[in-house]
Amino acid sequence: MKSYVALLLLLSPYVQAQTLVASDPLRRIILDQMRANIAYPTDIQFVVKQLSVSGSQAYFCATARTNDGSGSVKINGKTVVYDRKLQQSAEGFWTTVSNFDSYVDSPAQAQCHSTILDEPAASGCQNVGLYDEERKPLLDAVRRSYPGNMAQPRFVVSHLCTTGKMAYFCGRLEGEESPERQGMNYYDVILAKHDRWQALSVESKAVEKCNFSGPASAITEQNLLDAASELIPSQDSQQLSDGVKVEMLKQFQLFQQAVKKGDMGYLKAHIVFPLENVADTLLAGTKDEHQQSITPALFDQYAPQIRDGLKELSLLGVDLTKKRLIDYRVSSLTPEQQARKYFPAEEDGQYYYYQGEKQVPVEGTCDSTGSGEFADDALDVFIGTDANLLIPGLSEVCDGGMHVRFTLQHGTLMLSRIDFVG
C-alpha cells in the first residue's frame, strides 16, 4: 500500500470551506470572472467582504467601486452588494447559481446574507463525469498509485467523486494477469490534492466491493480523512529513512548536473536499460521511433536527443534539509503579459484584455511545470505542462508530460522507468 502521511496531515485543516486570501491565484480568477459576469460599463474593483471555496462551490459577497474615481458602483442611487453563490463548471468557469444581491445607501451598510460554511452539503463529494476537467488528473493519480507492472493501466470506473481537496475512486483494472496478483484487480483509492492529485491510500481486492457506496454527496472530506487514517499503517517496511532520502537527493543532483552538461557517459551509466515504451516520444522524428524500447545501442546513437528530452529535470530544486524536491513553474507569459487583467471569453480557452477601450483576444496557454516526491522506495518526478494560472489553456492541451522514476540499485541512483501521460 502506498501512503502519504505528511500530505494527510497537511490537508486536515481544510475540511470546511477555505477562505481565499489575497495572494491565492484562485481568488483573482474568481474576481476577474465576476467582473466579466457583471459586465459593468467601466472597469471596477471589488471590495470583498467574503470569498470562500469548498470543492466546486464558492460564496462571494462584495461591494464594488469604479476605477475612474467616481466611487462605489450604484444603481438608481443605491450601492450594490453583490451577494452570490457560485458553481464551477466542467470547463472551469465560475457562474452564479443563487443571487442574493441587495442595495444599500452606502458601502458601510453592506451585509452578506450567508456564507458557504452554513451549507453542510457543500463539503460532500461531487461525481466526476466523463467530460469533467478533473477526471483525467484524478485517473492519472490512480494510475501512478497502481502497484503492478503495467506501463499504462486502464480502469473501469465504478465511483469517482471529489470534494475539491479530496477525492474517492473505486473501480476495476482491465487486463491485469500475473501469478502474484491474480484476481486482485479491483481498487479502492482515497486521493488528496496538493499541487496535483496524489493517492493517500490504495486497497487492491479480489471482489469489487467499494468502501463507500450510495450517493456521492453523502461522502464528506472528514469521511475520507478518517478512512485514509485507518488504512495508513503505523510502520511501512518500504518507507525510506531520512538518511537514504538525503543520499538519493544528492545523487539526483549529480544526475541533474550530467543533464545540464551533456555528460552522456554518466547518463548512460545511470539508466536501467532497456527503457520500455518511450522510443515513440524520446526518439520522435527518427527512423527508430517505432522501436519497442531504447537499448544501450540506441542511446549511443541518439544520446543528445534523449538528453534534450530529460533537460527539464535540471529545473527542479533540491532541499536537502527538508529532504524534498522543490517544484518549478515556468510561465509562458512575459512580465508585461502577466501584468495585464484578463477576462474569459465565451469560447473555451479564449480570453481577452483591454487596450484602452478595445478588447484584445488571446488564447489560453500552458506553463512548463515539474514536481517530485518520494513514493515507497522510489523518487518519482513529473516534468511536463500545466495550465497557466492567469489564462489557463485547455486541459486536453496542457495536462501532459512524463513521470520519471529513480530507484537505488546497489547504492546507486538509477533512472529505472519513464511513463508518458496526457
Tell whether pTM > 0.75. Answer: no
> What is the structure's pLDDT at 176?
60
Tens of pLDDT along 395-420? 778 878 899 999 988 778 999 999 88
> What is the structure's pLDDT at 263?
93
Alpha-helical segments (H) within 262-403: 264-269, 279-282, 296-310, 335-338, 395-398
Tens of pLDDT along 155-205? 888 888 888 888 999 888 876 655 444 556 788 889 888 767 888 888 877
Task: Centre a 10 Å sphere on the Cβ of residue 203 and count the other Cβ atoms it contains.
Answer: 17
> What is the structure's pLDDT at 1?
40
In the predicted model, what is the mean pLDDT of the chain? 81
Range in 166-170, 211-215, 269-273 with the lowest mean pLDDT: 211-215
Q: How far apart are the first and last CA of the chain?
A: 25
Task: Centre a 10 Å sphere on the Cβ of residue 139 and count the other Cβ atoms it contains.
Answer: 20
> What is the structure's pLDDT at 260?
94
Higher pLDDT, 272 or 32: 272
Element housing 373 (H / E): strand 366-375
Alpha carbons 229 and 410: distance in angstroms, whole number: 33
> What is the structure's pLDDT at 273?
92
- Answer left, alpha or beta for residue 113, where phi above 0 means left and psi between -120 and 50 means alpha: alpha
> What is the structure's pLDDT at 120?
39
Share above pLDDT 70 across residues of the chain, in percent, rounded to a whole number = 82
Residue (of 194, 202, 195) closest to 228 by Cα position? 202
Alpha carbons 38 and 75: distance in angstroms, whole number: 13
Alpha carbons 39 and 34: distance in angstroms, whole number: 8
Element housing 143 (H / E): helix 135-145
Q: How confident is the model at residue 342 (pLDDT cuts 50, 70, 90)?
A: very high
Interacting residues of 348 by C-beta distance below 8 A, sequence separation 6+: 91, 394
- 400 with 384: CB under 8 angstroms? yes
Using the structure block, give the residue that is written with the C-alpha cell 547518463: 267
Share above pLDDT 90 across residues of the chain, in percent, rounded to a whole number = 32
